[in-house]
Amino acid sequence: MPPKSSSGRKYSKKSGQKVKRAVHEMKSGKLKSGRSGKKVKSRKQAIAIGLSEARRSGAKVPKKKKSR
């Protein structure tokens, strides 16, 4: 018998919309990073910004992984 996977979504629709908006802004050159205010050029960074905005707004997003 295969292992039971958790049912339901890991990420909510709202979080997907936030990420989509952030990536779109990055592509058009309007997305800026929080502290330094520099333009974001990396796709990974744009996704991270979208997810952190989603977390702040209360959307369903898994917790950040701790870096060691």
Q: pLDDT tens for residues 33-68?
A: 988 999 999 999 999 999 999 999 999 999 888 877
Q: How far is residue 36 CA from its own chain's centroid?
A: 19
Helix extents (H) in the chain: 13-28, 43-57
Structural Rg of the chain based on CA atoms: 14
At residue 68, the pLDDT reads 74
Contact criterion met (CB below 8 Å) for 43 and 22:
no
At residue 7, the pLDDT reads 73
DSSP letter for 44, please.
H
Whether pTM > 0.75 for this model: the answer is yes
At residue 58, the pLDDT reads 94
Asked if pLDDT for residue 1 goes beyond 70, the answer is no
Angle, CA 34 vertex, CA 32 and CA 38 arms, to 5°: 40
